[in-house]
Amino acid sequence: MKALPGHREKVASLLTALAENVRAEPGCVRFVVYTLEDEPDLFHVEESYRDEAAFKAHMGTEHGRVFNKAIETLVEGGASRVVFLKGVA
């Protein structure tokens, strides 16, 4: 997700708080927040869950809902974009 001009610090703060909550979820294996070195307004979150049930539980959390509502006016497109990766090697 890309922070709108002037909102990078707020988005970073929200992601830091979200990370703490998500990492406490019983099914969370990994939740790491990055910014691009040459484009610090662009954030990338890498997250993994124990299984599909843990991911579904994560998607239903109150802290996730609060975060998603908070970023509506802070990031391009009003939301994060979720992509699913498939291992190759």
What is the rounded CA–CA span in Å between residue 44 and residue 37?
11
What residue has token string 């910014």? 35
What pLDDT digit, counting tens, does each position of 14-58 carry? 999 999 999 999 999 999 999 999 999 999 999 999 999 999 999
Alpha carbon distances (Å) from 5 to 9, 20, 23, 36, 66: 10, 25, 28, 15, 22
pLDDT at 8: 98
Mean predicted confidence (pLDDT) in 72-85? 95
pLDDT of residue 65: 97
Token pair 């974009």 is found at 81
